[in-house]
Amino acid sequence: MHFASLTVDPAFRVGEVDPRLYGSFVEHLGRCVYEGIHEPGHPDADQHGFRRDVAALTRELGVPIVRYPGGNFVSGYHWEDGIGPVAERPTRIDLAWRTIEPNQVGVDEFQRWADSVGAATMMAVNLGTRGIDAARGLVEYCNHPSGTSWSDRRRANGAADPYAIKVWCLGNEMDGPWQIGHKTAVDYGRLAAETGKAMRLVDPSIELVACGSSSRAMPTFGSWEATVLAETYEVADYVSMHAYYQERDGDRDSFLASAVDMDAFIDAVVATADHVRAVGRHRKRINISFDEWNVWYQSRFAGERNLSIQRTPRLIEDVYSVTDAVVVGNLLISLLRHADRVKIACQAQLVNVIGLIMTEPGGPAWRQSSYHPFALTSRHGRGTVLRVEPNSPVYETAIHGPVPVLDAVAVQSPDGVVLFAVNRDQRQELTLDVDLRALPSLTVADHVALFDDDPDAVNDATDPDRVTPRRLDPPKVDGAGVQAVLPPLSWNMIRLTTAP
């Protein structure tokens, strides 16, 4: 058995959790939209064709914002194709994912769905094949009250009130050679700056996200951010980050330490943004929109160029194990640990495509294993993040070097303190001593953990609840601290409250 310790003290404040840190992502990719959130004719579809079972699971997740409509898809998308009478909308070939796009779901339908699940829309504009004019027209359509061509078109399409979409992405992954309309950092930065300026002239209240690197592994990483932010600093509020992780070649020890890479990635982007701020003598700070993150087994994907053109193909439908879920929970810990700068984050994606939720056409919807740490962190990780500085044994990894067995963060709210922790050791329990002397009123503890005797166990349509969180025996709180035992390879939530 391992032994570790940490201290929970309100003095170790990181920052307030922006609820948008628990966002998700819906892209016109595979079965995320069609047969995912939208399936007319399904026994549980509403009058607009949206699946009620998927909507209920989305509300349970507590997702406050959803990025839409892409992703790579947006770089070839004409948003005008998705408005007006559905029967009159054109069918297009989506070049990003080589699929037939029927445009049955567009701006108005998605906004109606987002409202129904209690989420704001984070809208992306096409800076691949389009630019300033299309983007400012979309802002006018969505956010201007009335009396102009686009706003009156929205009203004629059934939405009398403006959508008041707050957050807008200035394109997607424009550093990537795979992107339709791929650009250099200078070309993208200048286009994004002028596009953002025009969009804000339509609606001065919007917040804008400039494209950062599509991954830390890109050869232009760092220099891309520096160049783009030098061009866009005055117009942008956030710079985006994207990261996906997977187990490679059976190296589970390194995979379980994926959050070490996420921490380093965030620190590097923050340092670059602050360098541009210093050089440009800017007053505001650029924050982070980590608007794509997840476990994704990209090595299993044939690549979009090898796909035949299809309608609603099953693309990138990874099935997640207990191990994957523990890593997802650990990535959430990393995002919380940087709550002072990471203000928006979008798990990618919501349904079917590397999704938290899976569906079958005409059949059930169910929670993947990764759904559970996300839902519990979203529900209970609201408040002030506290740095806990664990004292932990370490283990050696091939990719990250020596890594702590324990990773943890705390969130304080008026209800008490919630501690999120992972035990990365695959074989041994970890006894954790938590020093609570700075918070002597906390006297009750509740311990929920996600783990399994089979670390490769998954949820599927035949056994949708094979992997679920377990409530463990409550740890004892003695006024000075609490001791909890974390199972091997586990994600844990320990809630500390005052007596009722």
- For the annotated catalytic residues, the residue numbers are 173, 292
Distance separating alpha carbons of residues 471 and 218, to the nearest angstrom: 42
CA distances to 68, 77, 82, 86, 88 from 91, in Å? 19, 12, 10, 11, 9
Using alpha carbons only, what angle is made at residue 71 by residues 67 and 76, rounded to the nearest 5 degrees? 120
Cβ neighbour number for residue 168 with a 10 Å cutoff: 25
Residue type at 280? G
Q: Nearest Cα to 286, choosing from 221, 235, 251?
A: 235
Distance separating alpha carbons of residues 374 and 360, to the nearest angstrom: 22
Distance separating alpha carbons of residues 483 and 421, to the nearest angstrom: 13
